[in-house]
Amino acid sequence: MAVTITDADAYIAEWVVDNEDWSDADEAKKTRLLNVASRTLATKYPAYTIPDAAVYETAAAFATAFNDTMVPAQRGVQAFSLSGVASFTFREGARELTEMIPASALDLIAAENPDMPRPAKRRVGWTVL
């Protein structure tokens, strides 16, 4: 199946707890979020079949990470204030898209690919001692 905004709206409304940022997004932003979520999962896990639900879970997580308040944090801003109106301080968070893939998406990918090793966020690499 192909991901669609209509299906994403229905899935996210029913299955995603923090769905306000997705619901508040316009159609163009939802399309971008779905495209980036799909590409990120396909690039990170090329040997796996990626179910639509995993794309929807990831798109909702990206919507929260890139809402209007959090965009400065994604760009490296640590704190800012609006003279007496509001003050925001951000903790260090994930900056790479692959670090923002939710565990629920990984569970859905694992369920879709029972004969494959469970997908993980971590990357295997070499260490020299």
Q: Is the dihedral of CA 118, 41, 59, 12 positive or negative?
A: negative
pTM: 0.78
Concatenating the DSSP letter of every residue in 16-66 gives -SS-HHHHHS-HHHHHHHHHHHHHHHHHH-TTS---HHHHHHHHHHHHHHT
User: Could you tell me which residues come within 8 angstroms of residue 10 by beta carbon, excluding any fewer than 6 positions away?
Assistant: none
Say which DSSP state 111 is in: H
Q: Write out the two tokens for 69.
A: 């308040």
| pLDDT tens track for 80-96 | 566 667 665 655 555 68
| pLDDT tens track for 22-74 | 999 999 999 999 999 999 999 999 999 999 999 999 999 999 888 755 555 55
Strand partners, 81: 87
